[in-house]
Structure 1
Amino acid sequence: MSPLSSNDLERIFEKLDKNGDGQVSLEELNWLLERIGVQFSLQELESLVGKPCLDFDEFLVFYKSISTPHSNDGTDGHGDGSAGDLHEDDDSDLVKAFNVFDMNGDGYISCQELESVLRRLGVMEENSSRDCRTMIHVYDTNLDGLLDFQEFKHMMLHSTSS
């Protein structure tokens, strides 16, 4: 169960493409990132994206690059189960994503917070809190109705591999 399906991503792309030219400019992409609480300068975003505009396929690649954990080929030589900097980077990205959803900073993602962020992304319609409760319930291992960081991490790692 992925929080953002290809249909969701297509709707987001169409909403971002304010001028309807089939391209999302850095300004349009930055508008979305600011709405979900991620701050980049246009120069930072351009160095991350590598070009001034993205078509839908490039937008999908960009989304996957920022949402998919980097694969480890098993050649890190640790042998003790630690993956060194690779997993630290992944966790750092996940912490940033978690903080976007944890709007009140209490260390948990509630149904209301999840719904609010997904609505701002244009993925969630009005009166869809049941969908958020379902998403949370699937990964809420302690059944408290909230996602802590470990539950969120499991959800994100599971959703990107399915």
Structure 2
Amino acid sequence: MARAEDPAAAPGVTRLGLGRPSPSFRLRSPSLNSVRLRRVFDLFDHNYDGEITADELCLALDRLGLGADPSEIASIAAGHIRPGRSGLDFRDFEGLHRALSDSHFGAAGERATEESDMEEAFRVFDEDGDGYISAAELQLVLAKLGLPEGKSMSRVREMICRVDQNCDGRVDFIEFKHMMQDISVRSSY
């Protein structure tokens, strides 16, 4: 991953060159952001030991098609790992997220609307861009993330049935939005 001087940051501050920064990298709802960040942490913690090593970060980024330079990832992560630990625990991971978010987008002033966050998340799943998430598309994303649900088409179809309000066998943007809002409401209890 290339580093580029960030004109919005203090002189000498660099940011990761992951292509165009995503406006949804920083979410406005702290509780929703924490839930989503925890899910990302759990996905990246490949061996479920409560820590994410630089190797696990690289593995997750590679699976998502975002290839990463292992030495650069190790260097970035090292600055957030507390002494005596071999990887990032969730608190360290939150700190890394905040630091990367601030270096990409500046202080909290630059935030996209929740609708655009949802649209971007939807596009991750809607690989063919037809406006629907099919069972095959959901299975592909789950498999890329290394989740066991990605191995079973019947499990994927079950997941779709839970949110498929019009029973067409696929998830449209409205259904996706309802699902995400429901997750947000349930996680705030």
So what's the TM-score if we normalise by structure 2?
Answer: 0.50
Match status 1:55 vs 2:88? yes
Q: Distance in 2 between matches of 1:143 and 1:95?
A: 21
Q: Cα deviation per residue 1:93-142 (whole Å; 9 max; x = unaligned)?
A: 11111111001111100011111101111123564112211111111111
- In the alignment, which of 45, 57, 65 is matched to residue 13 of structure 1? 45
- In the alignment, which of 32, 37, 56 is matched to residue 60 of structure 2? 32
Q: How many matched pairs?
A: 128
Partner of 1:143: 167
Q: Distance in 1 between matches of 2:119 and 2:67?
A: 15
SS at match of 1:14: coil
Match status 1:160 vs 2:188? no
Give the alignment's Cα RMSD to 1 decimal: 4.0
Kindly provide the amino acid, as one letter, of the partner of residue 52 in structure 2: Q
SS at match of 1:114: helix
Checking the alignment, whether the CA contact within 8 Å between 1:10 and 1:56 is kept in structure 2 is no
Larger radius of gyration: 2
Kindly provide the amino acid, as one letter, of the partner of residue 103 in structure 1: E
Q: Distance in 2 between matches of 1:32 and 1:109?
A: 22
* Cα offset, 1:8, TM superposition: 8.9
**Runs of 5+ unmatched residues, structure 1:** 66-84
Q: Which runs of 4+ in 1 moved over 6 A?
A: none
Checking the alignment, whether the CA contact within 8 Å between 1:23 and 1:56 is kept in structure 2 is yes
Q: Distance in 1 between matches of 2:58 and 2:181?
A: 25
Kindly provide the amino acid, as one letter, of the partner of residue 58 in structure 1: R
Matches within 5 A, 1:72-111: 89-111=113-135
Note closer, same or farther for the CA distance 1:21–1:37 as it changes in structure 2 (3 Å cut): same
**Runs of 5+ unmatched residues, structure 2:** 1-35, 82-86, 99-109
Checking the alignment, whether the CA contact within 8 Å between 1:115 and 1:124 is kept in structure 2 is no
